[in-house]
Amino acid sequence: MSSDLGMRRRRAVWRASHRGTKEMDYLLGQFAEQAVDSMNSEEISVLERLIEMQDPEIELSVYEGYSLGDRDLDTLVSLIREFHGFPGSRK
């Protein structure tokens, strides 16, 4: 199982860094590189779900703090906002 988890972690970092727009590549990729090693399987699942979303949805959530309508995704976006020091985050 640990090799599967390791593969998911590596894949999540790569996907977060290669989404299509430079801004989202940077924001999600930098966060993923820092956080993914401490994530468990469920947390990686949430990251994988976020990575599959369209950039405009993620941008509104990350930049403006809008809810994605899912508590787990909103919690992850809050961590991303805090990591990057966006206004309204706890950092």
The pLDDT of residue 90: 56
The pLDDT of residue 91: 44
Contacts made by residues 83-87, CB under 8 angstroms, sequence distance 24+:
83/30, 83/31, 83/34, 83/35, 84/27, 84/30, 84/31, 86/62
Residues 48-87 have pLDDT tens digits of 999 999 999 999 999 999 999 999 999 999 999 999 999 8
CATH top class, domain 2-84: mainly alpha
Tokens 């430079």 sit on residue: 22
Domain spans of the chain? 2-84
The pLDDT of residue 89: 58
Whether the pLDDT of residue 32 is over 50: the answer is yes
Dihedral in degrees, nearest 10, Cα atoms 27, 30, 35, 39 = 70
Measured CA to CA, the distance from residue 56 to residue 66 in angstroms comes to: 11
